[in-house]
Amino acid sequence: MKAWGPTNWTRRHTLIIGLTLILLTNATALLGVYWNRSGTPESTLKLTQRELQQPYGWGMNRENSGMSLRIQWRVPSGEKYWAYSNYGGSPEWLDETKMASLGFDVSKPSDMDYRWSNRQLSREVLLVLELDGPAYQEILQQVRQFAAEQDARLTALPGDKQMQDNAKRAHEDVTREEQENSRLFAIDAGLNLSELRAKYPDRNRHAIMRAQVRPSYVGKPDRIAGYIDKISIDEINVPHEYHAALDIRARPATLKTLTSGGRKFEASVAFGQRLEPWLVGISVVKQ
């Protein structure tokens, strides 16, 4: 019979400890999911393929049966409509006063410049996302107005090729804004969930999520603003029972986006006790 020496004893305990940590980690994650989905959701939004799209590169591996959808959200910059962007940015409302209310030091150091901005650490705050509300309607109005302005210029110079191209692109922008671009906008931030929910009581239009925000340098004049880096959870797992609704098995490699060539759908997304989203249901929109 082979005796257990110090080396074998150490390896055995290392294996046991490793397995125990894995089990504890998985149990903690499952408990977190259970708690998040317990009780009444904090909010529930009806999102479409405009707000939920596949992550880049999905479908390249046919053997991967898992799927997730990425939340498409936008930041109103205060500039012309084309300056609005996905995946973070510096909204006009995230100014020095707001950053101070979020606990950031907004005193201006002597070496404040773009390099200073890159050294600043982000912190977690609560971000308010608004679906198809005033922020989206404002950009929709702007893009339509811009197209009307290009039409007026083309009327004055109907033979001008540049004017023709400008009007064509402007109307393409209108179509994208009306039919494809996300209607989900970041409109406010705070640290207290109860206060934000009292300010935005519509739980079917306003979702509150955790997000990472950091100070940002804005020149001319020198000032500190805020930059939203990302929402803490931006991908939602699609359970297998919903794959057929999105035609996943039929076109895994050719479904480049769910807004172009893919099926149009409406998805019910709930945000739970931990403000984490999950897919409650999905239905295909008949075309």
Tens digits of residue pLDDT in 33-46: 657 788 899 999 99
> For residue 61, is it within any domain?
yes
Q: Please count the other Cβ atoms lying within 10 Å of the Cβ belonging to residue 172.
A: 11
In order, the DSSP letters of 58-106 are TTS-TT----EEEE--EE--SS-GGG-EES-B--TTS-HHHHHHTT---
Q: Is 262 contained in some domain?
A: yes
Give whole-number Cα distances, 243 to 54, 60, 147, 281, in Å: 12, 16, 38, 11
Both structure tokens of 128 = 């308010």
pLDDT in tens, 240-277: 888 877 765 444 433 344 444 467 899 999 999 999 99
- Give the DSSP letter string of 14-43: HHHHHHHHHHHHHHHHHHHHHHHTSSS-SE
Q: Is residue 286 part of a domain?
A: yes
Which tens digits make up the pLDDT trace of 194-244? Answer: 999 999 999 999 999 999 999 887 766 677 889 999 999 999 999 988 887
How much is the pLDDT for 10?
Answer: 75
Report the pLDDT value the prediction gives residue 225, as an integer from 0 to 100: 86
DSSP letter for each residue of 154-199: HHHSTT-HHHHHHHHHHHHHHHHHHHTS--EEEEEEES-HHHHHHH
Per the domain annotation, does 50 fall within a domain?
Answer: yes
For residue 262, what are the domain limits? 40-71+234-287
**pLDDT at site 132:** 97
Q: Looking at residues 79-106, what average pLDDT do you find?
A: 79
The model's pTM:
0.81
Is there a domain that residue 268 lies in?
yes
In a domain, 119, yes or no: no
Token duo for residue 207? 């979702």
CB atoms within 10 A of CB 38: 10
Total structural domains within the chain: 1
159, part of any domain: no
What pLDDT is attached to residue 83? 42
pLDDT at 30: 58
Rounded to the nearest angstrom, the gap between the alpha carbon of residue 118 and the centroid of all alpha carbons in its chain is 22
Helix axes 161-179, 134-156, angle to 10 degrees: 160
User: Which tens digit of pLDDT belongs to each residue from 140-154?
Assistant: 999 999 999 999 999
Determine, yes or no, domain membership for 249.
Answer: yes
